[in-house]
Amino acid sequence: MRLDRAGLERVGAIARDAGREIMAVYAGDFSATRKADDSPLTEADLRADRVIRSGLEREFPGVFILSEESVSAATEPPPDCFFLVDPLDGTREFLKRNGEFTVNIALVAGGEAVAGVVLAPVPDALYLGGQGVGAWRHDSAGWAAIRVCPAAAQRPLRVTGSRSHGGEALRRWLDALAQPHDFVAAGSSLKFCRLAEGAADAYPRFGPTCQWDTAAGQAVLEAAGGRVLDPAGQPLRYGLSRPILNTDFLALGDPSLVLPPV
């Protein structure tokens, strides 16, 4: 299964429905509980998950869905093609009310994130990308194709990274860079989107992420010409039979960049 541009826009409409649920909670008073892994959970996560699951089941009946907050009934063998969903990526940023949270919906096939949709409810920007389709952004100005930016020797390397994770490992990586650089922190899968639209060059990630945190952003970035590499220099992979936790990784706008490994 693959998604063409029309299919991506159908998934994008579902993400926008989820975004409206998230913003309805964001506009009021809300609190968080703690899940078993001590990560925060809000009513916005649950409302967005219900909307996404309902929408995907309606538009793409029979396709397995693995979400951070719910999972389709198990099948044997595990399906090779499925939707991978984070209904609210960046719950910590949501709780801080800094606007740096997203809705992530990816289609995985053959271990690859072959298509992805990332919605940033603040400031209402939708990113779409898929193999053979290209990458696009939609905001108040309308639709625009997006593309990574070639690295340029005459300017500092633009590095983006986690606002909440990384610590000493990230500092060591930055210190190992041979070229001048600027670092800008950002939350959620927005970092992948910054690379995809040419606003950043590299995103090194140290510390835990789950498959649903990265798949949609990776699909958008790769459709825009970038790459996401594991510590062995191979593309980050996905699957229901794989560990839910990702390895460290390095996301690149320009794949020709030679940078320290993660």
Q: Rounded mean pLDDT of 8-16?
A: 98
Q: Determine if residue 90 is labeled as part of a ligand binding site.
A: yes
To the question of whether residue 213 is assigned a binding role by annotation, the answer is yes
b (16+ CB within 10 A) / e for 34-63: eeeeeeeebbbbbbbbbbbbebbeeebeee
Residue 164: pLDDT above 70?
no
Task: Please give the pLDDT value at position 4.
Answer: 97
Mean pLDDT of 82-108: 95
Tell me: pLDDT of 231 over 70.
yes
Q: Is the pLDDT assigned to residue 114 strictly greater than 70? A: yes
89 marked as part of a ligand binding site: yes
pTM of the model: 0.96
Structure confidence at residue 140 (pLDDT): 95
86 is in an annotated binding site: yes
Confidence band of 62 (pLDDT split at 50, 70, 90): very high
Write down the pLDDT at residue 165. Answer: 64
Mean pLDDT of the chain: 95
Instruction: Name 101's Cβ contacts closer than 8 Å, sequence gap at least 6.
Output: 22, 88, 89, 90, 91, 93, 94, 120, 121, 122, 187, 188
Instruction: List every span in the chain annotated with CATH 3.40.190.80.
Output: 157-252
Q: What is the CATH number of domain 157-252?
A: 3.40.190.80
pLDDT, one tens digit per residue, over 117-163 is 999 999 999 999 999 999 999 999 999 999 999 987 778 999 999 86
Per CATH, domain 5-145 is 3.30.540.10: yes
How far is residue 100's CA from residue 98's CA, in Å, rounded to a whole number? 6
* Mean pLDDT along residues 51-64: 98
Whether residue 247 is annotated as binding a ligand: the answer is no
Q: Is 88 annotated as a binding residue?
A: yes
What local confidence, expressed as pLDDT, does residue 75 receive?
87
Tokens of 75: 């099948």
Q: Is 80 annotated as a binding residue?
A: no
